[in-house]
Homo-oligomer: A and B are copies of this chain.
Amino acid sequence: MKKVKLGADTLLYPMPAVLVGTIVGEKANVMTAAWCGIAASRPPALSVSIRKERHTFKGIEQHGVFSINVASTDLATKVDYCGLYSGRKTDKSDLFELFYGTFEAAPLLRECPVNLACKVIHTLDLGSHVLVVGEIVETYVSEDCLSHGKPDPVKIDPLIYTTVTQEYRRLGGVVAKAFHAGKTLQES
């Protein structure tokens, strides 16, 4: 398999397309982010990379809390809108139905199937972006996205961002069972 060198590039697949909820000044704001991932299990933590000049970053600095909301595919247009237009000029406070959990300054988006209320525990200035590490203090899931009491990825129907081609995609079918498929190699 011949390889082509593309220089230093941020080429990772897949990326989530999540919505970051904050209060900036007195107003709720929602920003789209694809550079987000889980960071630890004890304490449960995630990281999200945000440009310093973003309106959302102001809210995170101001209150030290934020929310990460997993978007479903039916929200693609709103997700894209929240990535295109800054809260500095565009009021996005009534784009979603908001609710509040543990933190008054971390608005949660009811239409999103999964909502994580987060408290900032570290920030790391990397240059273009600040890596914000948040402790996940509460998790909310839409009741209709559960199967046998557990979050069901098919019902959650998460929006996926693919870089370079700049598309939102959906989750595809099951390829293999994790923590299981690889055992066949050990036995062979």
Q: Which of B80, B124, B166, B185 contacts A78 (CB 8 A)?
A: B185
A 131-188 contacts with B by CB, 8 A: 131, 133, 135-144, 146, 150-153, 156, 158-162, 164-186
Q: Which of B131, B176, B181 contacts A47 (CB 8 A)?
A: B131
A 98-128 contacts with B by CB, 8 A: 99, 101, 110-111, 114-116, 121-122, 124, 126-128
Q: Which of A19-27, A31-39, A59-67 contacts its partner?
A: A31-39
Q: In the complex, what residues of B have CB within 8 A of residue A129's CB?
A: 39-41
Q: Of A14, A81, A84, A143, which is in contact with the most chain B CB atoms at under 10 Å from its CB?
A: A14
CA distance A116 to B14 in the complex (A): 14
User: With contacts A83-B178, A124-B133 known, what are 17 further pairs, Cβ within 8 A?
Assistant: A1-B142, A2-B142, A3-B110, A5-B138, A11-B70, A11-B139, A12-B16, A39-B49, A41-B129, A42-B127, A90-B186, A131-B133, A152-B165, A153-B165, A167-B176, A168-B174, A172-B172
